[in-house]
Amino acid sequence: MIGMVVNRPTLSRWESMYLPGILIGLKITAGHFIDHLLGRKKVTMQYPEEKWPMPDGYRGAPTLVKDEEGREKCVSCQLCEFVCPPRAIRITPGEIPLDSPYAKVEKAPKEFDIDMIRCIYCGLCEEVCPEEAIFLLKDYAITGLTRAEMVHDKDKLYELGGMLPRPIHKWDAKK
């Protein structure tokens, strides 16, 4: 294979001193400096009080949500666990007591853990959930000091997710 020769343009004496490039760069820097002094441009964001707005299609960290009455939406179907590519979700199914008014439901999760270090924020768990129990946060600042802090258990997931007022299929006696 033969290489291609690229002829470089010959520079004038003025251009070879690189002075025009330096002056253009100083002009841009001075313009930013003046804009900052006059308050026309905001340079620093005061994090964590201020955060970047998230676009509509942003897929954040998965959380669990409850209904208006504080009941769990999750029925331990384990579809989210099976569809999770990095295997970040672990569910241990449990039973609802027979004396409960909601004994019609077959299962409720005894344990529900999501390892946020392994999670790739793909959103497949939200898409596959038949009961709309998993939702993705619009927050990008999920931190922890140890690996153990980054494994969110069921209580932490409900704390992050909160309540979502939507109809839940599992509490409907007609279904």
Say how many C-beta atoms besides its own lie within 10 A of residue 60's C-beta.
17
- Enumerate the domain spans of the chain: 13-43, 62-161
CATH entry 3.90.550.10 includes domain 62-161: no
Share of the chain above pLDDT 70, in %: 90
What is the amino acid identity at position 55? Answer: P
List pLDDT tens digits, range 92-107: 998 877 777 777 666 7
The model's pLDDT over 53-91, given as tens digits with 9 standing for 90+, comes to: 888 888 889 999 988 878 888 888 999 999 999 999 999
Please compute Rg for the chain using Cα positions. 27
pTM value is 0.68
pLDDT one-digit tens code per residue, 126-138: 999 998 899 998 8
- Split at pLDDT 50, 70, 90, the class of 49 is confident
The Cβ-side half-sphere exposure at 136, using a 13 Å CA radius, reads 21
pLDDT mean across residues, the chain: 86
Mean pLDDT of 110-126: 94
pLDDT > 60? residue 168: no
